[in-house]
Amino acid sequence: MKKIIMILTACLSLSLTAAEEGLVLPHDKLPKLSGDALTISMQRGLQVYTNNCLGCHGLSFQRYNRTAKDLEISDEAMLENIIFSDAKIGDLMTNTMREKSAANWFGTAPPDLSLIARSRGTDWLYNYMRAFYQDESRPYGMNNSVFKDVGMPHVLETMQGIQTKTDKVKGLENTIEMAKADIAATRKLLEEGSTAEGLSEKIEKAQESIHVAEEELKTLSAAGEYFSLVKEGKLSPEEFNQSMADLVHFLDYVAEPIKRERQRLGIWVLLFILGFGCVAYLLKKEYWKDIH
């Protein structure tokens, strides 16, 4: 009994910390694709990846020829269009960046992304890639609203351009900051034993205003009004979103190359069980016919 209570308390405190992590925006869902559309999207994603990411992030569990086979690309096309280094078709998709120097340049070494779609989830990745914004307080003038103070530069600037939080968003975030400061100050007064009137009401009111502001931020984000472009890139916002969906579909494939095969097989297995179930039932009926 004691053990069960301990486990339950642990679960509860875990979910509480998750709730306390706060609001992470944008919070969009990765568009779903299947069949040929998914294969084509993954092919485009592979291209975006090798052109923009592989230099820093290796995929150390993935070989070029396996990728070519799974994504229905011929070895020749792979060699001609995807592999720019002197890598061979059977090589692992890694780079030659040395971890120590990388850590010196960026503060943190760029991690291998073989399993990132599983550890972070595809929605998180889709939002992260679209969340770089202008922030003068950062060393390179950029930040990321999904991964705060990230060490990765905004490498897709030529594609996306530069975006900034809209004035409305900045205003709402200001309101939240002020309300939080209010709450902290009032709590301190209470802790010090102040008996002044209306302190707990003040806290409640501030919490309410945080809630309202957060709801408004979510609405703005869902309407695509969280950021606005201050410098245009080569792609329109819709094209850029699509390109990031391609990239994430590719990373999703890399994280579990057998996934599509598994799903395809799974349907046949289920159909077989269903068919065999029917046969077994008819057989049972036939056997018991004379006994009943």
Interface ranges with ligand HEC (CB under 6 A)? 52-53, 55-57, 106, 108, 110-111, 113, 116, 120, 125, 128-129, 150-153, 155-156, 247
Closest separation in Å from C-beta 69 to ligand HEC: 23
Comparison of 158 and 219: residue with beta carbon closer to ligand HEC: 158
Closest separation in Å from C-beta 185 to ligand HEC: 32
Comparison of 128 and 253: residue with beta carbon closer to ligand HEC: 128
**Token pair for 260:** 């599509």
Closest separation in Å from C-beta 142 to ligand HEC: 12
Closest separation in Å from C-beta 100 to ligand HEC: 13
Residue nearest to ligand HEC (CB): 53
Comparison of 58 and 217: residue with beta carbon closer to ligand HEC: 58
Closest separation in Å from C-beta 182 to ligand HEC: 31
Closest separation in Å from C-beta 152 to ligand HEC: 3
Comparison of 111 and 237: residue with beta carbon closer to ligand HEC: 111
Backbone angles phi, psi at 114, to 5 degrees: -55, -40
Q: What residues does 59 pair with on adjacent strands?
A: 93
Closest separation in Å from C-beta 256 to ligand HEC: 16
- Rg, the chain, Cα only: 26
Closest separation in Å from C-beta 82 to ligand HEC: 15
Comparison of 64 and 128: residue with beta carbon closer to ligand HEC: 128
> What is the Cα–Cα distance from 211 to 209, expressed in whole angstroms?
5
Comparison of 151 and 233: residue with beta carbon closer to ligand HEC: 151
SS in 3 state form for the chain?
Answer: CHHHHHHHHHHHHHHHHHHHCCCCCCCCCCCCCCHHHHHHHHHHHHHHHHHHCCCCCCEEEEEHHHHHHHCCCCHHHHHHHHCCCCCCCCCEECCCCCHHHHHHHHCCCCCCCCCHHHHCCHHHHHHHHCCEEECCCCCCCEEECCCCCCCCCCCCHHHHEEEEECHHHHHHHHHHHHHHHHHHHHHHHHHCCCCCCCHHHHHHHHHHHHHHHHHHHHHHHHCCCCEEEEEECCCCHHHHHHHHHHHHHHHHHHHCCCHHHHHHHHHHHHHHHHHHHHHHHHHHHHHHCCCC
Comparison of 39 and 50: residue with beta carbon closer to ligand HEC: 50
Comparison of 57 and 186: residue with beta carbon closer to ligand HEC: 57
